[in-house]
Amino acid sequence: MNSKFQAKIVSWSIAGEEVCASAARISTTQGDALELFEKAQGNPKNQDLIGKVLRSGHRSVIEHAVFSIALQNVSVYVEQYFIECRLASFTVKSRRYVDFSGFGYYIPPALEGPALADYGGYMDGLFSAYQELLELDIPKEDARFLLPYAFCSNFYCTLNARELVRLIQSIRSGRSESVPELLDIARQLAEQLTELFPALTEELTEPGQAAPPSFAPLYREKPVWVTEDEAGAAELLAGPAAPGRLLERAYRLAHPGTDNPLSPESLTGALRPRELEQLSYTFVLSDLSLAGITHLVRHRMQSVIIPPIQSVDHSRFILPETIRNNSAALAIYQTALTEANRLGRALCENPVLRPYSCYFAVSGNVLDVMTTLNARELMLITRLRTCIRAQWEIRHIATGMLHLLREHYPALFRYFGPSCYLTGQCPEGNMSCGRQTEMAALFGGDSL
């Protein structure tokens, strides 16, 4: 099953070229901001000016033009590639709440004959097992671990022109330049962007062809099952040597002349706790599922390193408790993934199919990820992700990170936790778990 994928720019900022040209003029030209904007209306010199500024290396001027893209029926591999852009905003269709059994999967146009049949057989087998798990009332958020990375995704992406150009260039010359689906999406976006914003034509010139990166698909003889307790184990690699002194200094600079002592607890309720941004922490998260990575990276204010999907160990799979504790579901899940392991390894021996190994990965495959975040972003992550209603894998990760942070700097991080613990109120309304007293005791105690 296949649908025509499409990346369409559905919205863009009004007078984007005029705003960018005005920004290019404002630092060197007489006149106030509104006066310069008025002079930019219909000015034939706008494009040449923007091009000149870009050639000089000052690309910030095109950040004032913003585009929204609808990505329709693209593979989740494309989604994964896009959401790694830290300076973009995304809204995706949730695999926790939506049944994907009828959404279909991406089929490389070049496949035909036996290769096409083998590819379809691999995908159909996993989709069939996914549907069987749903019929057994396995939660969608756990059944989704069977979905292959070819399954169709739909999402919105909004970003400025500078980041969009960078995204197109990275597709054309980065680790995924050998993936036809991504290259076609880059072509679609470049054509639309050139038409909407001609001043970027030079920026969108295709690079010379280089040898694409090569990844050998990794398969083992037998599958390896990663339990819930093992998935997403957190390791704190680095943090400030003297976080209290650093935070105190930041507080004094932010509140000149104050005689009030620093109260770390008060920062958790501040409207603009910039002091927390001065504390940076680096973690390695081991055996994080590909599905779990999407929960992590939607937090934009972090520097995250995710290995290429092409390098995934296709034989390592997460095993959720809801499936482990259901004998019928366990048999379906393990049989489907054991067959996927066997068949995927055979398919990758075919030189026609080997370039598409990224699509043979499943959402339950695991990778190790590194991320660096500041304490302000960590407060948001723990507030949202240690909540009992958060998806179990990201909740396990956030709780593990918080445990390490409390060991490192308890004077601050003992106040971090879910919203009900942090603020005394649950934001979930009718969907509240009703366990605020229990959560307060858990996060307020020493057993976390």
Measure the CA dihedral 358/362/366/368, to 10°: 30
User: Measured between alpha carbons, how far is 235 from 221 in angstroms, rounded to an integer?
Assistant: 29
Tell me the backbone φ, ψ of residue 225, rounded to 5 degrees: -100, 125
Q: What pTM does this model have?
A: 0.90
Farthest CA pair distance, the chain: 78
Q: Which of 173, 166, 164 is nearest to 208 (CA)?
A: 173
Tell me the backbone φ, ψ of residue 233, rounded to 5 degrees: -65, 135
Rg of the chain over Cα atoms, rounded to whole angstroms, equals: 25
User: Measured between alpha carbons, how far is 165 from 143 in angstroms, rounded to an integer?
Assistant: 36
Q: Which of 176, 174, 231, 167 is nearest to 204 (CA)?
A: 167
Tell me the backbone φ, ψ of residue 435, rounded to 5 degrees: -115, 35
Which pLDDT does position 179 carry in this prediction? Answer: 86
User: Measured between alpha carbons, how far is 127 from 135 in angstroms, rounded to an integer?
Assistant: 13
Structure tokens at 149: 């990375």
Which pLDDT does position 212 carry in this prediction? Answer: 58
* Segment 296-335, tens digit of pLDDT: 998 889 999 999 888 899 999 999 999 999 999 999 999 9
Q: From start to end of 186-333, where are the E strands?
A: 224-227, 233-238, 280-289, 303-305, 316-319
Which pLDDT does position 45 carry in this prediction? Answer: 93
Mapped to the 3 state alphabet, what secondary structure does 357-368 carry?
HHHHCECCEEEE
* Segment 251-277, tens digit of pLDDT: 999 999 888 889 999 999 899 999 999
Which pLDDT does position 211 carry in this prediction? Answer: 58
Q: Whose structure tokens read 């001027």?
A: 61
Per-position b or e across 26-63, b if 16+ CB within 10 A of its CB: eeeeeeeeeebbebbeebeebbebbbebbeeeeeebbe
Please give the angle made by the CA atoms of 121, 341 and 122, to the nearest 5 degrees. 10
User: Measured between alpha carbons, how far is 409 from 374 in angstroms, rounded to an integer?
Assistant: 13
Q: Which of 5, 143, 142, 147 is nearest to 78 (CA)?
A: 5
User: Measured between alpha carbons, how far is 60 from 208 in angstroms, rounded to an integer?
Assistant: 25
- Listed in sequence order, the residues at least 6 apart from 311 whose beta carbon sits closer than 8 Å to its beta carbon are 215, 218, 367
CB 439 within 8 A of CB 425: no
Helix boundaries (H) for 66-225: 76-83, 113-135, 140-143, 161-173, 180-196
CB 386 within 8 A of CB 398: yes
CB 161 within 8 A of CB 53: no
DSSP per residue, 54-108: HHTT-GGGGGG-EEEEEEEEEEHHHHHHHHT-TTEEEEE--TTTS--TTS-B---
User: Measured between alpha carbons, how far is 52 from 50 in angstroms, rounded to an integer?
Assistant: 5
Encode the chain (448 residues) as per-residue pLDDT tens digits.
444 568 999 999 999 999 999 999 998 888 899 999 999 999 999 999 999 999 988 899 999 999 999 999 999 999 999 998 888 999 988 888 888 988 899 999 999 999 999 999 999 999 999 999 999 999 999 999 999 999 999 999 999 999 999 999 999 887 666 788 999 999 999 999 999 999 999 888 876 555 556 677 889 999 999 999 999 999 999 999 999 999 999 999 999 988 888 999 999 989 999 999 999 999 999 999 999 999 999 888 999 999 988 889 999 999 999 999 999 999 999 999 999 999 999 999 999 999 899 999 999 999 999 999 999 999 999 999 999 999 999 999 999 999 999 999 999 999 999 999 988 888 888 878 888 888 888 888 776 7
Burial class (CB in 10 A: 0-12, 13-18, 19+), 230: middle
User: Measured between alpha carbons, how far is 81 from 167 in angstroms, rounded to an integer?
Assistant: 9
Which pLDDT does position 1 carry in this prediction? Answer: 43
User: Measured between alpha carbons, how far is 192 from 7 in angstroms, rounded to an integer?
Assistant: 10
Strand partners, 370: 284, 305
